[in-house]
Chains A and B, each alone.
Chain A
Amino acid sequence: MARSAVALRRNPLARVARQYLDQWIQRRARGVPPIEVQYRQIFILPTRFGWMLGLLMFGMLMGSLNFNNNLGLLTTFVVAGLGLVSMLLAYNNLRGIRIHRTSAEPVFAGQPLTLNITFINDQNRVRPALEMLAGKFRVEFDLPGSSLEEVGIRIPTHHRGWLKPDRLRLQTCHPIGLFEGWTWFWPERPVLVWPRPASHPPPLPSGHDLESGRQQRNEPEGEEFFSLRDWRSSDPVHRVAWKASQRHQTLLSREFRAEQSDHLTFDLALTPGRDLEERISNLTAWVLQAEREHLHWTLKLNDASHGPASGKRHCHHCLRMLAELQ
């Protein structure tokens, strides 16, 4: 699909044709789940094998007619009858399938997206040899009688944002591969693709990193007690922890830290990166890291500020905001 999408973007004629086809399909019947597949949504054509057998049949017909060979003709017509019946069966295999809904978990750009499609077969018969197609990806499955089945198809993603997958194709070559019946539909809603997290993000922007002394000194100290450390000559006297020093027989200083040191602020404007995408990428990595380490953070995007908060919910919200950022 990736290639075809690129090709479509390059070839305006193909794009127009595609749009026209899509509109035509949607004018014919509902193209978005829930759908109950009916005759206006089913298309049917011979497969390559079907054309081959047709050619073979034509040869048999000509030969038998020429020799007025009646049993040869009968054989030819049995094959023709098989073709007709298998066309009806291919149609019937699709007719009445209910495409209930499509759903997908968001993924990061570049990872394949799994679009789950729920099919309901409320008739009593098996519907064998079904195939779901999305671009180059295909998955084969059967629908047992009176059943509900969820089929996952993988769609590659490239960019953050709301992905509107191309039309999907449910097809079948049942029963003997002579005819291919198919129906087209679209997922009912676009799918969220989070930005791709940077693989080597810069360290988190606040004094979270204890080893980085330089950053620490630059930061104003807060009111909250953080830890004890060896006394240095520049430490003010009121910082000396007398009781502890007595216990340890050495001078110790109290160290304070701002509450902010635990409460990070990710600001798009202050994030390193060559361009917007790289900065978003870094922000994404930070958000994920912060969530992993159970920290609190605030995400500042242009004018809007999200947080401070923590947890999965906040993380997902931030990721969505980053994905939607223009």
Chain B
Amino acid sequence: MTDRTGITHPPLSPLVWTIAAFLIAAAPHLAAMPAALAGIVILLSMWRITSGWFQWSPIPGWLRILITLALIVLVVMAYGGLWGRRFATGLLCVMLAAKSMEMYQARDLRMVASVCFFLIATQFLFNESLPYLVYLAGGCWAATIALIQIQQIPAMQRAHSGAGMQIQRRSLNQAATLLALALPVALALFVLFPRLAQPLWGLPDEMLDGRTGLSDSMSPGAISELFLDDSPAFRAEFDDQPPPYHQRYWRGPVLWRFDGSTWRTTQFANARGRQSVPITESSLHYRIQLEPHERRWLLGLDYPARSSMPESTITVDHQLLSRHPVTTLSQYEVISTPDFVPDAELTQSERLLATYLPPESNPRTRALAGEMRARHPEDRDLIEAILQMFHDEFSYSLSTAPLGRHGADEFLFDLKDGYCEYYASAFAVLMRAVGIPTRVVTGYQGGFWSEAGGYLLVRQSDAHAWNEVWLEGTGWVRVDPTAAVSPLRISQGSRSVIERERALFEFDWMFELRNRYDRVQHLWNQWVLGFDAERQRWMLERLGLPRLGATGIGLLMIATVILIAIPIALWLLREQHRTARSEAEKAWLRLLRHLRRRRFRKRAAETPLEFALRIEPELGSTGAGLVQLALNYNRVHYGPEDPELTRKFIANATAWRSTGTRAKSGNPMT
């Protein structure tokens, strides 16, 4: 076991399990990592197993340090200075793989196995959807098996057997038992652990490396994978019916600044709004279950009036904004007033910003706008005319084409084919060219109504961009040029448009299956992921408990954990005495128990007969027959098999016990 460097190789089995636990826990992280890094991690792990198999001598210390430093440099390079959580977890994975180079003692193995739990927990910062429950269970199981086997290393070395099937099966069972016993405790803690209503500390924005979702800028022509992403963005629960299609505009970032190719938000985008939205009879009440997107915006229907999210604001652009980036599934209620028109007077700077176009860009578009303006002096007529033009001459598709310096020109005169971003951008350029203040609103449009679930599912592919135009005397009016081109996109959602392109592998039953699955996911989100301080309070109130503070809930938690631990402890601590192997032995043990209650205890060294002979005088008249019983027990238990004799012995022993006085063994066995 010991080579010349004095390093003892641990038995193979705990080593393999530790590395397996690490790879399982790291699997989702590896999938999200640059492929080269993931390859290195897997390679290092495999190397360690191979070197354990062949008992290679370990890598010398200086080389280990060199490799580790090289790996750190590699990770920094691979993530290009993005100090986000992906970088942190990536680094952790690589470091653990590097640690495996010097993993020879139980201490090192233990460290890697226990950090697996941490790796598993960090994965949930990125994705908490239902399938990851399997990952949680599997990862914890593997790590527990590894820990159990590490504990058994001395025993394995004593027995000189690394990986007997029996040891494997036993540790698998032990780990499952441990986890099964830990689960009730974990669940009680989960339900009753006092939650924070607010985070303790905010996460610096640079720690967030963004997921798919809306962004705060828009460049038509840049490749956008958002429209192909079917993952849910959020779900909106309505009590009765969802709002009609033409009201399903979920407001996201509002873009004002245009530099000729990219639309961006303003510096004052996060400022609190001046105008509050009234709540009227037509206002919609609903509840949003927002998937984490690591941005601050919360989505709501046009125009949000109020939200239950703590510390959230409604900005000047009528956008709902949370105070901290949404890093976990969040649930909040919103009240929106769809027929509200924002009509707070424009300031001079706002007007300038909303009509600005980079000079000398898009000359043909400007010319076209001027020409149309001459024909339609009324703003509304002009808008109508442009939409009519879109409807007649343009088509909708998700194909992208990169746009050059005069993006609007290229799109309006050459391409005539595109998706919402192209239309919203071109329309805004047209409007601004004639001095009508216009802005681009991004967000989501539509949603799939799940009748059974009572919620509207909005996917990332429902992302949309539309315009708002300032009409003097009215205010900001929503204009959706995409709707003019492809009314289907608005009335039936993005799927109706995409379907044509992906019909090859999109069947209806698959679609149905996905929607069914989404309902389960929705419940999971609602009851597990969305279990927060508010739901906890609600649940405790339903249980009839008075309103408890954090201290109260904490005490309740401790009491419950103790209550749960008691039966577990009793079960674990039960006496496991030798079990009887035959019916006769059972009868004899019952007899001994009976005598024990009468304060006659058989000594360990006594044979049945010796015991009977010793206590018979003490029992006096009640002890008659005991010696005969002991003799018969000897015959039955040690002698050749005799069913008839056995049956009689059992009957007599039972009778002796039940009467306790008269023995029925006058001549029992003849």
Contacts and interface: CB of A to CB of B under 8 A. Distances in A.
Instruction: Please say whether chains A and B are actual partners in one complex.
Output: yes
B189 interface: yes
A1 interface: no
B532 interface: yes
A289 to B, nearest CB: 41
Interface stretch (A49-57, A158-166, A200-208, A236-244): A49-57
Contacts of A64: 121, 124
Interface string A280-310: 0000000000000000000000000000000
Nearest to A78: B186
A18 interface: no
A82 B190 contact: no
A80 B121 CA distance: 13
A49 B151 contact: no
A89 B572 contact: yes
Given A66-B200, A88-B572, 18 more contacts: A56-B117, A60-B117, A64-B124, A65-B196, A67-B199, A67-B327, A71-B133, A72-B122, A74-B186, A85-B568, A86-B178, A95-B573, A123-B575, A123-B576, A128-B155, A140-B155, A176-B144, A177-B110
B201 A66 contact: yes
A79 B189 contact: no
A190 interface: no
A128 B152 CA distance: 8
A173 interface: yes
A40 B189 CA distance: 29
Given A60-B117, A122-B577, A123-B577, A68 B199 contact: yes
A146 interface: yes
A137 interface: no
5 contacts: A59-B118, A63-B125, A78-B117, A82-B179, A140-B155
Interface in B532-578: 532, 561, 565, 568-569, 572-573, 575-578
Given A66-B200, A88-B568, A75 B121 contact: yes
Closest 9 CB pairs of A and B: A81-B182, A81-B185, A77-B186, A176-B147, A71-B124, A77-B189, A75-B121, A81-B186, A72-B121
A5 interface: no
Q: Is the interface of A mostly helix, strand, loop or mixed?
A: helix
B486 to A, nearest CB: 39
B120 interface: yes
Contact of B193 (A67, A73, A146): A73
Nearest to B528: A70
Interface in A83-136: 84-86, 88-89, 91-92, 95-96, 122-125, 128-129
Contacts of B151: 129, 173-177
Contacts of A52: 111, 114
Contacts of A145: 576
A79 B183 CA distance: 9
Given A78-B140, A88-B572, A129 B152 contact: yes
A49 B7 CA distance: 21
A303 B193 CA distance: 79
B474 to A, nearest CB: 42
A69 interface: yes
Contact of A73 (B110, B190, B561): B190
Contacts of A84: 182, 185, 561, 565
B236 interface: no
A276 interface: no
Interface in A137-167: 140, 142, 145-146
A53 B114 CA distance: 7
B328 interface: yes
B579 interface: yes
A253 interface: no
B189 A80 contact: yes
Interface in B87-129: 106-107, 110-111, 114-115, 117-118, 120-122, 124-125, 128
A173 B152 CA distance: 10
A67 B201 CA distance: 9
Contacts of B132: 71
B41 interface: no
B272 interface: no
Contact of B107 (A49, A63, A125, A146): A49
Nearest to A177: B151
A123 B561 CA distance: 29
Contacts of B529: 70-71
A135 to B, nearest CB: 19
A41 interface: no
B195 interface: yes
A76 interface: yes
B136 A88 contact: no
B76 interface: no
A82 B114 CA distance: 12
A62 interface: yes
B427 interface: no
B185 A72 contact: no
